[in-house]
């Protein structure tokens, strides 16, 4: 049985089980459809217990969303919306397919510091992330 959910009268998760992309300490991430643009998006649903035990999490998520909307960088996702509905908080961002970082590193062939090795790929990804964080900091994202 499909459990469909519409968030903000705009973003539709077709099946909560099938469209679950991952779970983290702060919430679950789902693949969804933006019904206004027909584009696939990712929605992070903050855990209610996290919000209840640490109310500053919501304020921080809103600040992160604002900072990400200003950030135009190839190593960072774009933020589309922050939605609050029925005491549930959501962050809607650009969907980037291809799996997780863990999936990517697991696919790499074994080796130590040779081109194509997991260690070399980790260094490359780390430099890309550092570049995006530097740009965010220069935009005033240091408050995050």
- CATH number for the domain that contains residue 134: 3.30.200.20
Of the candidates 96, 5, 83, 70, which has an alpha carbon nearest to the alpha carbon of residue 44?
A: 83
In this predicted structure, what is the pLDDT of residue 95?
Answer: 93
Task: Quote the pLDDT of residue 36.
Answer: 96
pLDDT score recorded for residue 43: 95
What pLDDT score does 38 carry?
Answer: 96
Question: Structural domain of residue 74, as residue ranges?
Answer: 5-143
Q: Block means of pLDDT (10 residues each) for the chain, length 144 residues?
A: 84 92 89 96 89 75 72 79 86 86 66 60 84 77 46
Q: What tokens appear for 54 in the block?
A: 């640490």
Count of structural domains, the chain:
1
Q: Which long-range contacts (CB under 8 A, 24 or more apart) does 123-130 make?
A: 125/101, 128/75, 129/75
Report the sign of the C-alpha dihedral through residues 71, 141, 8, 51, in that order.
positive
């Amino acid at each position: 049985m499909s459990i469909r959910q519409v968030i903000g009268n705009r973003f539709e998760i077709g099946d909560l089980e099938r469209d679950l992309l991952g779970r983290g300490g702060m919430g679950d991430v789902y693949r969804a459809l933006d019904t206004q643009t027909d584009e696939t998006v990712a929605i992070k649903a903050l855990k209610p217990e996290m919000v209840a035990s640490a109310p500053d999490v919501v304020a921080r998520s809103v600040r992160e969303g604002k900072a990400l909307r200003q950030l135009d960088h190839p190593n960072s996702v774009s933020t589309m919306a922050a939605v609050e509905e029925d005491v549930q908080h959501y962050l809607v961002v650009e969907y980037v397919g291809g799996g997780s970082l863990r999936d990517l590193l697991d696919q790499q062939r074994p080796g130590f510091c040779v081109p194509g090795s997991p260690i070399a790929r980790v260094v490359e990804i780390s430099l890309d992330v550092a570049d995006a964080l530097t740009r965010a900091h220069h935009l005033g994202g240091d408050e995050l």
